[in-house]
Amino acid sequence: MTLGDRVSAWAPAVAWAAVIFFFSTEELAAKHTGSLLEPIVRLFLPSLSPQTFEVLHVTLRKLAHVGEYFVLALLVDRGWRQGSTLRPRWAPLAAFFVAAVYSLTDEWHQTFVPSRTASLFDCGFDSVGAAIAASVRSRRQYLS
């Protein structure tokens, strides 16, 4: 396996990790995403109460955690399968582990962003997304 093969196997996972890092910056803090999301939601639900919008906003943000780390775990799984000598059957578990650890480092990163806070609760959502991806990859591997 050449260096180029390894780079192409891992580049998508590294790029997605960088996207997640950006998502943890000031630009995508709750106060900003709420003001971006509210006009869109109000197009479809103009009479939505502020309290209901807040519940929807929090729910969408938590689902975003699940989705971000679902994608990360899939891409890390791909990296393990294509860019390492790890046995393919271990790739989903290794991908879950990498995504869960990255989640912890991402929450730590947020402690340095003034409008953000670190939350182990969010790491739980992240880990759920990674676990779903690992489960999908494991099942697919055994069904093939």
pLDDT surpasses 60 at 84: yes
* pTM of the complete model: 0.91
Residue 41 near residue 53 (C-beta atoms within 8 A): yes
102: tokens are 């990255």
pLDDT surpasses 90 at 98: yes
Mean of the per-residue pLDDT values of the chain? 94
User: Residues 6 or more apart from 77 whose CB is under 8 A from it?
Assistant: 91, 92, 94, 95, 133, 134, 137
Measuring CA to CA, which residue among 34, 24, 108, 20 is closest to residue 67? 20
Residue 83 near residue 10 (C-beta atoms within 8 A): yes
pLDDT surpasses 70 at 141: no
Residue 80 near residue 141 (C-beta atoms within 8 A): no
Three-class SS of 91-132: HHHHHHHHHHHHHHHHHHHHCCCCCCCCCHHHHHHHHHHHHH
- Residue 26 is classified by DSSP as G
pLDDT surpasses 60 at 144: no
Q: What's the pLDDT at 28?
A: 85
- Residue 47 is classified by DSSP as T
Q: What's the pLDDT at 143?
A: 58
- Residue 48 is classified by DSSP as -
Lowest mean pLDDT segment, chosen from 7-21, 27-41, 43-57, 98-112: 27-41
Mean pLDDT score, 6-30: 95
112: tokens are 């340095």
